[in-house]
Amino acid sequence: MESIWQRVDGQEIRLRAWEGGAVLYDLRSGDTHLFDELSYAVWQSIGEHRASIADIARRTADCLETEDDDTLRQYVARCLGRFDSLGIIRVATA
Amino acid sequence: MIVADYPLQEFAALARAGRLFLRTGPFVVQIESDLESGIAGLHSLYADHELSINSPFADFRIALNRSSRWRSWGLPRATFVSESNSVFEPFPRNSALAYFEWGLNGCVCSRANDYLMFHAAAVEREDVALVLPAPSGSGKSTLTAALVFSGWRLLSDELTLVTPTTGQITALARPIMLKNASIEVIRDRFPSAVFARQIAATIRGRVAQIRPPRASVEQCHLPARPTHLVCPQFQAGARTELTPISRSDALRALLNCTLNFSLFGEAGFQAAADLVERCTCQALTFGCCEDAAAALSQWLPTADRSLPRFAAHSNTAECPAL
């Protein structure tokens, strides 16, 4: 069954984005995270609600004006894994 | 009155009595010391700094004195005490001047928390203010010295102080500390630079401090607004290369060099991001500070007159490694 992802509840994130990427600041942990353009697009595509990898990949493809193909989905999956390890997203429970 | 207005003997007597109130940048430092060589070094390095002999207030109180307890390996030792705390283990007396600077850095870092602090150098010229965030060993001080003795105003060699609400840099034009081969690089290229006595074997290698230019000290009250951010990286034998970097990379580099960012939380993040947003950002790889300064002179709008003389003398093959 496909995982459904969402941003961590009660998250307090500040984000500054420019051409070339973005820096995210997590007020709760005090950590900062550097996103390149692709991972920033994935982050934006998660949105405020629960989303599957397929949803996120489709939105990312729209955002980047590229094909929603296997390569992109694999990249999105890696990004989500990284975001999860950073504690900024989590798998949604039913 | 400035330090140079006091003869060394009088300065030393005031130091022994703990009546030196030295103004450096926005801070007043009260100094007590019975170390003759240390006092002579301070008298030379801080020659152009304001000094008063009576002040109701000091930001930092420092005692740099002989240590009677420690005589390991027969070397006379000294202590650096600030607010009753011994900051270092007793150290060789002949290294006192270096420990004074390191200890004062520690005082600023631990207590000057009105400022967002970065481990970065900063220089300014004709409203172009260049911030150089970099970890130790990046060639930051050597490059800063080369720029400063070519007409740039020294804002800071080591600690860049940014007021979060205004984004401006408060100048802290203290002595520049050079290490190892960079001492000869600057001494050879800038004979007018006033060096303190070299200290042969400190925990950070061979070090020597340079007196900051008088104009930089006199203009310490003038803040500067950052316009350019350069992340320098010295690599022995490398060609000078200036490469544009994204603002997100620049912000990450800047935040990696922050010293008290966590105290400010969101305000610190926004201030650092605002600083980067106002700046043109580049990475600078260099193997020779003369070439690097020349490259900056071509890139930065006002570094156009004195710096090309670096290029005229420049020969990468002759540049010693730092």
Quick check: A23 contacting B, CB < 8 Å? yes
Predicted pLDDT of residue B302:
56
Residues facing B258 on adjacent strands:
B118
Other Cβ atoms closer than 10 A to B320: 12
* Nearest chain B Cα distance for residue A16, angstroms: 7
Tens-place pLDDT, residues B86-101: 878 888 888 899 999 9
pLDDT digits 0-9 by tens, A45-93: 998 888 999 999 999 999 998 888 999 999 999 999 999 999 999 998 7
Across the interface, do B251 and A23 touch by the CB < 8 Å criterion?
yes
pLDDT at B265: 92
Task: Name the residue ranges covered by the structural domains of chain B.
Answer: 3-111, 116-178+212-311
- Predicted pLDDT at B321: 39
8 Å CB contact between B31 and B15: yes
Q: What is the dihedral of CA B64, B67, B71, B76, to 10 degrees?
A: 50
Gap between the Cα atoms of B253 and B260, Å rounded: 15
Ordered by start, the domain boundaries in chain A are: 4-91
> Residue B71 has what pLDDT?
55
CA closest to A19 among chain B residues: B246
pLDDT at B74: 67
For B246, which of A14, A18, A25 is closest by C-beta distance? Answer: A18
H or E element: which one contains B65?
strand B60-67
Q: Is A75 on the interface with B (CB under 8 A)?
A: no
A23:B248 CB<8 A = yes
pLDDT mean over A9-16: 88
> May I ask the CATH class of domain A4-91?
alpha beta
Say if CB B285 and CB B233 are below 8 A apart: yes
Q: Which CATH number fits domain B116-178+212-311: 3.40.50.980, 3.20.20.140, 3.90.228.20, 3.30.70.580?
A: 3.90.228.20
Sheet holding A21-26, edge to edge: A13-18, A21-26, A32-36
Instruction: Summarize pLDDT for B219-262 with one digit per residue, the tens.
Output: 999 999 999 999 999 999 999 999 999 999 999 999 999 999 98
Residues of chain B with pLDDT below 70 are 69-74, 302-322
Residue B56's pLDDT is what?
Answer: 83
Residue A10 at interface with chain B, using a CB cutoff of 8 Å: no
- How many other β-carbons are positioned within 10 Å of the β-carbon of residue B309? 15
* CA distances in angstroms from B216 to A44, B99, B143, B290, listed in the order given: 46, 23, 16, 21
Q: CA-CA-CA-CA torsion for B296, B298, B304, B308, nearest 10 degrees?
A: 80
Check CB contact of A38 with chain B, cutoff 8 Å. Answer: no
Instruction: Identify the pLDDT of residue B305.
Output: 45
B251 touches chain A (CB under 8 A): yes
Place of tokens 């890696």: A78
